[in-house]
Amino acid sequence: MILTIEKMVKAGVHFGHPKSEQNPRMSPFIYTEKNNIQIIDIIQTYFYIKKTSRFLFESCSKGKRILFVGTNKYISRLIKKRANESDSWYVNKRWLGGLLTNWKTLQNSIIKLRELDWLEKKGYFSSLSKKETSHLKKKKNRLTKYFGGLKTMFNLPDIIIIAGQLKELNAIRESKILNITLITIVDTNCDPYLSDFFIPANDDSITSLDLIFNEFIGAIKEGRKTFLKMKMLK
């Protein structure tokens, strides 16, 4: 699907927040105001989507790995769906403090989840009592809730894509400490300069986010294809 201004308008990418909620740093990206709602300059949005997509393609063609983060309830399913489509990792329920900065410790929980998955697939649970099985399943479900999108993550990500900046400040802080590249979709109440790459756009709308993610996913997939081709030629 080719990205066009018309599709962006239809998806509501340009709708911001009321002026009273504006972050002053978003001023250069606001086109006008209508019915007390700020309107984002959609031409700039288009430019930043394309710029970021090029970066994602180039990065993935070099084997870089990506983590999607978005824990607001209304985007939880979208984050999981789009991350899985691009063979990326994701956090969509809750950002646990130290997930990146204390990775070696929290990695033990992911290892435990892998073990429980393996035991269940091998039929080990069926050999236990109902009480023991119930206990292990509850433990597995709890670990899946927080680490299900990280089961194949053996090292820290190279790039983190964030939707819902105001709720993901801990993830942003940890990323900055570790110098991990940040890509953020920023609404008019956000700070664009907390990220290395940003997209000025409506981050409260599923259709807006999905349209932007669609561009990202296409770039990631093409980059991965290029990486695998180059790897086979070596």
Decide if pLDDT at 134 tops 90: no
Report the pLDDT averaged over residues 13-36: 96
- pLDDT at residue number 132: 83
- pLDDT at residue number 131: 82
Decide if pLDDT at 126 tops 80: no
- pLDDT at residue number 102: 96
Closest CA to 204 of 17, 9, 32: 17
Amino acid at the residue 17: H
3-state SS, 197-210, equals EEEECCCCCHHHHH
Report the pLDDT averaged over residues 195-205: 97
- pLDDT at residue number 38: 97
Contact indicator for 53, 79 with CB cutoff of 8 Å = no
CATH number for 5-97+156-233 (one of 3.40.1710.10, 3.30.2020.30, 2.60.120.380, 3.40.50.10490): it is 3.40.50.10490
- pLDDT at residue number 166: 96
Contact indicator for 172, 9 with CB cutoff of 8 Å = no
Domain map (residue ranges) of the chain: 5-97+156-233, 103-149
CATH number for 103-149 (one of 3.40.190.10, 2.30.30.40, 1.10.287.610, 3.40.50.10680): it is 1.10.287.610
Q: What is the pLDDT of residues 48-66, one digit of tens each?
A: 999 999 999 999 999 999 9
